[in-house]
Amino acid sequence: MNKTVPEAVDFIRSFLSSVKDVSDADLVIAPPFTALYAAGSLLKGTNVGLAAQNVFYEEKGAFTGEISPVMLKGTGCEYVIIGHSERRQYFHENDEIANKKIKLSRNNGLKVIFCIGETLEQREAGRTFEILSYQIVNGLKNINAQGLVVAYEPVWAIGTGRTATPDQAQEAHLQIRNRLRELFGEASDAVQILYGGSVTPENVDSLMACPDVDGALVGGASLKPDSFEKIVRFKRGIK
């Protein structure tokens, strides 16, 4: 929940000019709902895609305050983030709700960034793989792999300044990849798995060097164009 419409417009103009030559990565930004239409107008025809931070699981109706996939498409959105840890924590959204959102979003032509991850308590209890498996199986029930991105967000590393070590990130990502392969077979190879959890210009190189980390879901470090650009231009192969 950052940036007014004018602030988002200024950000996008600055960011676009700094990354217009980037062709070896998929770039997507997710401003708040209020800025989506203005952002979509600026991003149209560029190398940066547009995502929404959330969506509702009905196309229309008496659901005051909610935003449907149809509305998102009308702003120029290509992607939508579903199941973010803050939606789970503060708004008590579970994998059943996420599943409904994913199905309707996919039916309306949106690509989905599905977020999963364990809390500190769950990690310390040795339940990381159990939690990730549960979220994948239930969140992706009766879903295919087409247009799907999965983001691993260790909840204990979001906004805390704590980051999973490259070994911890790789271990979790490999587990996720194996579980996706069990669900989708060879089609799972097309699913990108992002790491999200206090990603910064200082740690992105080592995280991206992990063989099963395909990209990053960036939070606070994406709020300034220069910081986000440094992450986009990470140095490949550095551990």
| 111 beta partners | 79
Catalytic entry in 7, 59, 92, 153: 153
Taking the C-alpha atoms of residue 52 and residue 72, their distance in angstroms, rounded to an integer, is 7
Helix axes 166-184, 128-139, angle to 10 degrees: 40
Q: Of 84, 93, 118, 173, which is the active-site residue?
A: 84
Task: Read off the tokens for 44.
Answer: 């149209």
Cα–Cα distances in angstroms (integers) from residue 38 to residues 6, 44, 76, 198, in the given order: 9, 10, 9, 27
Q: Is 84 a catalytic residue?
A: yes
User: How far is Cα 151 from Cα 173, in angstroms, rounded to an integer?
Assistant: 9
- Residue 152, strand partner residues: 116, 195
The catalytic residues are: 84, 153
